[in-house]
Structure 1
Amino acid sequence: MNGGILPAALAGFGTGLSLIVAIGAQNAFVLRQGVRGQAVLAVVGICAASDAVLITLGVAGLGAVVTAWPAALTVVGLAGGAFLICYGALAARRVLRPGQALTTTGATAGSAGTAVLTCLAMTWLNPHVYLDTVLLLGSVAAERGPLRWVFGAGAMLASLAWFTGLGYGARLLSGVLSRPAAWRTLDALVATTMLALGVMLLARAL
Structure 2
Amino acid sequence: MPAPAAAPHSAPHLTDRLLLRPYAPEDAAAFFALIDANRLRLRPSFPARETAASSANACIRLLKQFGHDWRTGRLYVLGIWHRTGGHYLGDISLKPNWTAPVTLEIGYYLAAEAEGQGYAREALAAAVAFAFGPLGAARLLIRCLPNNPRSVAVAEALGFQPLPVRARPAWLRRVLGSTPVLYYILRREEQAQT
TM-score range, shorter-chain basis? under 0.3
Name the structure where helix makes up a greater proportion of residues: 1
Instruction: State the TM-score, normalizing by the size of structure 1.
Output: 0.24
Greater relative contact order (Cα < 8 A, sep 6+): 1
Query: Which structure: larger Rg?
Result: 1
Instruction: State the TM-score, normalizing by the size of structure 2.
Output: 0.25
